Amino acid sequence: MKAIKENKVYHVDEKTKDTYLVQGYDIYDDKGKLVEKSNKSAVSYEAYAKLEAEIKRLKAENKELKEQVKVDVPVSKD
């Protein structure tokens, strides 16, 4: 496993993994897949702004679809 933070990379094992997580390192397996993300990890502003725009777009789409469902769904009278 590897502990990665910014430009620092350390090889770690299960025993030392938690120590690096506390220090803000993310843990990746040997194939490069994220195993565990540190709760101290920061997200870049660029990534944050991109996600914020995506959320705004999805909320608008969701609102539009809900309005379509209200119009398109016939009311059944039993």
% residues pLDDT > 70 (the chain): 91
- Residue boundaries of the structural domains of the chain: 2-36, 43-73
Confidence band for 75, pLDDT divided at 50, 70 and 90: low
Return the pLDDT at 34.
Answer: 93
pTM beyond 0.85: the answer is no
Mean pLDDT, residues 59-74 taken together = 87
- Single-letter amino acid code for the residue at 71: V
Q: Is 59 exposed, middle or buried (0-12, 13-18, 19+ CB in 10 A)?
A: exposed
Sheet holding 26-28, edge to edge: 8-11, 2-5, 26-28, 34-36
Give the model confidence (pLDDT) of 23-50 as tens digits: 999 999 999 999 999 988 878 889 999 9
Return the pLDDT at 19.
Answer: 95
